[in-house]
Amino acid sequence: MKQAVQAVLNQMTLQEKAALCSGRDFWHIAGVPRLGIAPAMVSDGPHGLRKQNDQADHLGVNESIQAVCFPAGCATACSFDRALLENMGRALGAECRAEQVDILLGPAVNIKRSPLCGRNFEYYSEDPYLAGQAAATFIRGVQSRQVGTSVKHFAANNQEFRRLTRSSNMSERTLREIYLPAFEAAVREAGAWTVMCAYNRINGVFASENPTLLTDILRREWGFDGFVMSDWGAVNEKLRAVEAGLELEMPGPCDASVQKVVQAVESGELPQEVLDQAAGRILEILLRRPEPQSGESFNRQRDHDLAARVETECAVLLKNNGLLPLSRSNDLAYIGAFAQKPRYQGGGSSHINAFRVEGALEFAPEGTVYLPGFSTRQDSPDPQALAAAMEAAGRARAAVIFAGLPDDFECEGYDRTHMRLPECQNQLIHAVAQVQPNTVVVLHLGSPVETPWADEVAAVLCVYLGGEAVGRATDALLYGDVCPSGRLAESWPLKLEDNPSFLNFPGDEEGVEYAEGVFVGYRYYDKKEMAVRWPFGHGESYTTFAYSDARVQVEDGKILAQVRVTNTGSCFGKEVVQLYVQDRTGTANRPPKELKGFEKVALEPGQSRIVCFILDERALSWYSPSGWYAASGCYRLLFAHSSRDVRAGADLEWVSSRRLPMRVHRNTTVGALLANPRTAAVLEPLLRQQHTQEESEVSREAITEEMLRQMLVNSPLRSVQNYQGYTDAQLQQLIDRLQQAADGACE
Ligand code: BGC
């Protein structure tokens, strides 16, 4: 512990230490005013500042200060642009400084396991690497202003159903490979000041009182040096939480739990050192805060402009038959309520009191006809609105439909029950597409929907929940002022039933089984070779890109990979070069490819650039029972435009000095022993000998050596005892020989 922290601790009373570990009020950490340490203010949230001055709540009910609503996580991850996210983080950090907010409660990095999760709009991706990179860069941006972040919700908070009590049940491998890496990147790569624990349980243990997560993994493995706060109301049992490694209970005031801690220390139930450690960790962060400076203010208009620029980099052009970009003319029809009043953010604790909202209609070319087409408050179509929309669309040169999910479809606190757009919107799109071949659909939503009309329309632009300047950004993309460069951060399945979590979502009162394991999103669709509507990483552009000269080499344990990318089209554009790793060693049941790198490159027509990546062993690894492990053998590096559009590849021969340890016992299968070259060398001769002994005219016809081998593969070693007529002592001797051979193969 730092000296300064220790010095403060030495002067604090037991009561003050306990009080520091519980919120002072809804949005403040107590501080130690007697010793000159001011309370700290925390505020939501990931895509804008939700600072509440008066009536506090965490569900987005009461007003907060007017601030700029940036695109939500569902959109920003699609930028695949680290610099952009860092920039947005910097702007938010500056807003916090101006408003005397010490810690911003974000980013939210939970994995999108099911498209139905009510908070998917806040989360980044179905892919842990992308979520981790987005989080780390955003955090770096905010914290560069000496404002803290709180990466949330640690961990496995992937649905809203029974979010305060449910257990997310999964294997250690699944937790490590899918649900933890984004937090790990936030801590290791960006040094997040704080972590917010989730409401839910993980394999039966509340996240708020989970020593494996809060202490073993977060602190010991990842070296986290900040403090953990609870989500609002996530503490189940205060003493267990403090012991497990939770420093701060939020929100306050929590007089009862402060007294509980005081009494527990006095009675010896809670060791004094545990409380000192928790208080010390909070102090450490409080002392990191800069001196408040008067006169800092944030320029809402400037940040609004930034929000527009960010969104232009995020929106994903899902389909384009060549109609886009449109030319500005006076014979267009804009249809759909979201043209005028766009849906640009989700509901709940991240809800921003937006400074200024721009709909695309504000920017539409003069003479554009506008019709609402549907009501966001009803599901069934209004025949009159439909007829009017068809008529206007039929007369226009092109129709742009501004569709999407209404507010109450996506909100913190509950999940969606289906993946459809309201029926009135689906029917509107079908109907307009019938009379107007040049129909563009612009989608405003926080999560994928089924798009039964996808083949009927000319173009689909997904702007996600694009923040308050979404209309301006949409306009720039529709008319080609900016070339679209967003790529999907999640797969869009054809229908909900295709999603790997479908049979196990949302689970029951008690828990939910993550039975699909590591096969989340594209990891599953690829393994099953299933058709999807739009794959992970997908996004069209107004230009084209060619990949060539893929290379890979290993130097000092690092993997250096590179590929040349050329803009082969006729306009300036940005390509997201995606690097996937494919394990060809056959050591474990792995997804066919996993994202391990990406770079966004800007290219003029005809220009080309070599894009380089440096990977480490972890990028090849899976989480085995003995930890992260990359077997020796072949890995293919895939350079891709999307997860389903691999444009170049190169093989890598990895040599590892490590081998997975093997314990040989009576029930180790023959198959496992034959798969290991060292134990196979001992066993093979025995098996051959047995076959030769049994070889008679009749047996040769009845069973070949190969058939025998196949049958034996699933048999335990003890069955060899029967065939060979071994005594128990002889079997034990064989086990010992095999174990020796296996150990020779391990480090
Ligand atoms: C949410 C958190 C949020 C907190 C404070 C909780 O309900 O889960 O994400 O930061 O409220 O508003």
Rg (CA), the chain: 29
pLDDT for 693 equals: 61
Q: Which atom of ligand 1 is nearest to the CA of 108?
A: 9
Summarize pLDDT for 166-188 with one digit per residue, the tens. 999 999 999 999 999 999 999 99
User: Closest ligand 1 atom to the C-alpha of 163?
Assistant: 8
Q: What is the pLDDT of residue 746?
A: 45
| Mutate which of 105, 159, 166, 228 for ligand 1 pocket (most atoms within 8 A of beta carbon) | 105
In this prediction, what percent of the chain has a pLDDT beyond 70? 97
Answer whether 163 contacts ligand 1 (Cβ < 6 A). no
**Is any ligand 1 atom within 6 A of the Cβ of residue 343?**
no
| 236-251 average pLDDT score | 98
Identify each DSSP E strand in 19-98 by its residue range: 28-29, 40-43, 66-67
Distance 378 CA to ligand 1 centre (A): 29
Handedness of CA 377, 382, 388, 389 (dihedral sign): positive
- Model confidence at 747: pLDDT above 50: no
| Ligand 1, atom nearest to 57 Cα | 12
Cα of 43 vs centre of ligand 1, distance in Å, is: 9
Q: Percent of the chain beyond pLDDT 90?
A: 89
Cα(455) to centroid(ligand 1), Å: 40
Q: Which atom of ligand 1 is nearest to the CA of 153?
A: 9
For residue 187, what pLDDT is reported?
98
The Å distance, Cα 742 to ligand 1 centre, comes to 51
HSE (side-chain half, CA atoms, 13 Å) at 122: 32
Ligand 1 pocket, residue 575 CB under 6 Å: no
**What was the pLDDT predicted at 177?**
98
> How would residue 697 be classed by pLDDT, with cut points 50, 70 and 90?
low
Query: Residue ranges of the domains in the chain?
Result: 40-244, 303-509, 545-654, 670-745
For atom 12 of ligand 1, the residue with the nearest CA is: 58
Which pLDDT band holds residue 604 (cuts at 50, 70, 90)? very high
Pocket test for ligand 1, best of 161, 249, 349, 412 (most atoms within 8 A of CB): 349
Q: Is 152 in the pocket of ligand 1 (CB under 6 A)?
A: yes
Task: Check pocket membership of 44 for ligand 1, CB cut-off 6 A.
Answer: yes
> What spacing in Å lies between the alpha carbon of 145 and ligand 1's midpoint?
23
Q: Is the beta carbon of 232 within 6 A of some atom in ligand 1?
A: yes
Q: Does 58 sit in the ligand 1 pocket, CB within 6 Å?
A: yes
pLDDT surpasses 90 at 292: no
Residue nearest to atom 6 of ligand 1 (CA): 232
Which residues, other chains included, contact 335 with Cβ-Cβ below 8 Å and sequence gap of 6+?
370, 371, 372, 373, 389, 392, 393, 399, 400, 401, 402, 428, 432
Contacts of 369 (CB under 8 A, 6+ apart): 332, 333, 334, 392, 395, 396
Q: Which atom of ligand 1 is nearest to the CA of 152?
A: 9
Q: For ligand 1, is residue 105 a contact (CB within 6 Å)?
A: yes
- Ligand 1 centre and the CA of 232: distance in Å? 6
Tens-digit pLDDT profile for residues 526-560: 999 999 999 999 999 999 999 999 999 999 999 99
Give the tens place of pLDDT for each residue, 347-387: 999 999 999 999 999 999 999 999 999 999 999 999 999 99
Q: Is the pLDDT of residue 2 over 70?
A: yes
Q: Whose CA is nearest to atom 3 of ligand 1?
A: 349
Topology at the third CATH level for domain 545-654:
Immunoglobulin-like (2.60.40)
Atom of ligand 1 nearest to the CA of 106: 10
Of 236, 203, 217, 261, nearest in space to 30 by CA: 261
Closest C-alpha residue for ligand 1 atom 5? 58
Rounded to an integer, the average pLDDT of 56-80 is 87
Is residue 255's pLDDT more than 60? yes
Residue 643 contacts residue 578 (beta carbons within 8 Å): yes
Among 26, 47, 58, 104, the mutation site with the greatest number of ligand 1 atoms within 8 A of its Cβ is 58
| pLDDT given at position 63 | 77
Output the CA 415–ligand 1 centroid distance in Å.
16
pLDDT tens-digit readout, 701-715: 777 777 877 888 899
Give the residue among 324, 318, 360 at the shortest CA–CA distance from 462: 318
Spell 189-212 as b/e; 16+ CB within 10 A means b. ebbbbbbbbbbbbbbebbbbbbee
Is any ligand 1 atom within 6 A of the Cβ of residue 492?
no
Q: Which residue CA neighbors atom 11 of ligand 1 most closely?
A: 58
pLDDT the model gives residue 738: 96
Which atom belonging to ligand 1 lies closest to the Cα atom of 58?
A: 12
Indicate which atom in ligand 1 lies nearest the CA of residue 105: 10
pLDDT at 5: 97
Do residues 98 and 147 touch, judged by C-beta distance below 8 A?
no
Residue 41 has pLDDT above 70, yes or no: yes
CATH for 303-509 is: 3.40.50.1700
Q: Give the nearest ligand 1 atom to 199 CA.
A: 8
Across residues 81-102, what is the average pLDDT? 97
DSSP class of 620? G
Q: How far apart are CA 485 and CA 514, in angstroms?
A: 33
* 47 Cα–ligand 1 center, Å: 13
695 pLDDT more than 60: no
What's the CA-to-centroid distance between 592 and ligand 1, angstroms?
36
Atom of ligand 1 nearest to the CA of 50: 12
Q: Among 230, 231, 352, name the best residue to mutate to test ligand 1's pocket (greatest count of ligand atoms within 8 A of Cβ).
A: 231
Higher pLDDT, 690 or 211: 211
Beta carbon of 231 within 6 Å of any ligand 1 atom? yes
| pLDDT score recorded for residue 64 | 87
Mean pLDDT across 456-473: 98
Report the SS3 class of residue 196: strand
Task: State mean pLDDT over 452-468.
Answer: 98
**Beta 594-603 vs 332-335: how paired, if at all?**
unpaired
- Taking residues 561-571, report their average pLDDT: 98
Q: What is the tens place of the pLDDT at every residue in 3-19?
A: 999 999 999 999 999 99
Nearest residue (by CA) to ligand 1, atom 9, is 349
Mean pLDDT for the chain overall: 95
Q: Give pLDDT, residue 698.
A: 66
**Euclidean distance between CA atoms 545 and 648, whole angstroms:** 12
- Alpha carbon dihedral 528, 529, 535, 541, in 10-degree steps, equals 170
Contact call for residues 440 and 324 (beta carbons, < 8 A): yes
How many whole angstroms from 199 Cα to the centroid of ligand 1?
A: 10
| Mutation probe of ligand 1 site: the residue of 122, 232, 352 with most atoms within 8 A of C-beta | 232
The rounded Å distance from CA 95 to ligand 1 centre is 19
CATH topology for the 40-244 domain: TIM Barrel (3.20.20)
Mean of pLDDT values over 480-487: 98
**SS3 category, 342:** coil
Residue 551 φ/ψ, nearest 5 degrees: -140, 150
**From ligand 1's centre to the CA of 44, what distance in Å?**
7
Distance CA 64, CA 60 (A): 9
* Residues annotated catalytic, as ranges: 231
Query: Residue 720's pLDDT is what?
Result: 80
The SS3 of residue 76 is helix
CB 693 within 8 A of CB 687: no
The response to whether residue 623 sits with its C-beta less than 6 Å from ligand 1 reads no
Q: Confirm or reject: Cβ of 242 under 6 Å from ligand 1.
A: no
Residue 61 confidence (pLDDT): 67
Q: What is the pLDDT of residue 336?
A: 97
